[in-house]
Amino acid sequence: MFTLLFFAVHAWSQSPSAARLDPARLTRLDNLLQRYVDDGKIAGAVALVLHDGKPAYEKAVGWSDKEAGRKMTTDTIFRIASQTKALTSTAILALVEEGKIGITEPVGNFIPSFAKTTVAVKTDSGINIIPAKRAITIQDLLTHTAGISYGTDAQVASLYQSKGLGPAAGAGWYTADKDEPICVTMERLGTLPFVSQPGEAYVYGYNTDILGCVVEKASGMSLDDFIKARITGPLGLKDTRFFIPPAQRARLAAVYGTKDGVAARSGEGARGQGSYVDGPRKSFAGGAGLTSTARDYARFLEMIRNGGTLDGVRILAPRTVDLMTTNQSGTLHSATGLGFGYGFETVDRYGASGMAGVGAFGWGGAYGSIYQVDKQSHMVLVLMIQLMPNGTDIQQKFFTTVYQALLN
């Protein structure tokens, strides 16, 4: 009853698509998800598929916390790590629409330490640190072509460690335990050398965390407050936040990791359960800090799929969404049919990402959660798990099992 009421209240209706999902074939997802739980490969999962904005499939399987005896539910909260990047990119582009940020504007206009950056270059005699050839721009950060990694690369790891970044931050991206605002951390990052020249390579790293600081500088608000005011609040996403209220800690799924082929509960700390409830609650990491539910995240994606609007609320203009969801980085991200827009990986060739159609886009998070939006088929696909490292192939099989149910 709750599920039916939830979707009725939120009015997920959109224009109908020519394609349809076969309910009988879609039930194959039940067996797929349950098999991974029964085999001990995952503790639990929540899967949600929207078609034309309406729920075609929603299922919670297994455990949110096996040791505590808590079953997975459709409103379980997950750490979404790099799925945060899509919301931060949306925040940046909302400010671009207002003229407060320019797409090709130098990042140094907002964060002084980025006015003149450096690059660590490997040579026969060691590592040379040289000046960057040009300023890093907002566009470089949106497409991950600024040359900025997570600081765990051999040539820079020790330098980042000494500044509380890279190896000192779990796998580099984790900042939930930092007792300082994100801009303090990012200003320190700007003093460190990066690993490639701006615009010359796709390098995945702190790019969107830097953008989170830019949002704060350009708006005069914390990233947390800006996202609440401009994205999650207007869309009614009540369970998408950087830190979870202590009273709701039981809704947060536990983190597991693949060990000897099965899921084993992770310990505390940066590479485990993290500080998402009892942490300092000061670092709003735009690259990897949010928590959310499958329903909340699917609703955000439905807004993007619908050209920046949902249920009478407009977050972005349609042309801005097109910039996010079409390749803006040429072949730097991939030479095999995938691109990267201003916030999402894009599918530019059928077969480059399984059965996803040309124009599809998506990404995932370090805790194993993943999503895809297929514009051709009018679908939003979301799979939430908490498995880090993830030694399974459940993500690929989830997508395939959804697409095999799609009949044109």
pLDDT band at 253 (very low <50, low <70, confident <90, very high): very high
What is the CATH number that goes with domain 103-220?
1.20.58.710
Q: Taking the domains of the chain in order of start, what are their residue ranges?
A: 2-86+225-407, 103-220
pLDDT band at 2 (very low <50, low <70, confident <90, very high): very low
pLDDT band at 18 (very low <50, low <70, confident <90, very high): low
| pLDDT tens digits, 44-90 | 999 999 999 999 999 999 999 999 999 999 999 999 999 999 999 99
Output the pTM of the full model.
0.94
Please state the rounded mean pLDDT for residues 127-141: 97
- Give the domain 2-86+225-407 fold: Beta-lactamase (3.40.710)
CA dist., res. 248 & res. 263, Å (int): 24
CB-neighbour burial class of residue 159 (10 A; exposed 0-12, middle 13-18, buried 19+)? middle
Instruction: Return the minimum-mean-pLDDT range out of 120-129, 255-264, 329-338, 340-349.
Output: 120-129
The reply to whether 103-220 shares the fold of 2-86+225-407 is: no
Please state the rounded mean pLDDT for residues 224-231: 98
Q: Using an 8 Å Cβ cutoff, are 185 and 283 in contact?
A: yes
Q: What is the mean pLDDT of the chain?
A: 95
Q: What is the DSSP letter of 110?
A: T
Q: Coil, strand or helix: which one is 224?
A: helix
Instruction: Give the position of tokens 């207007």.
Output: 234
Looking at residue 125, what is its pLDDT? 84
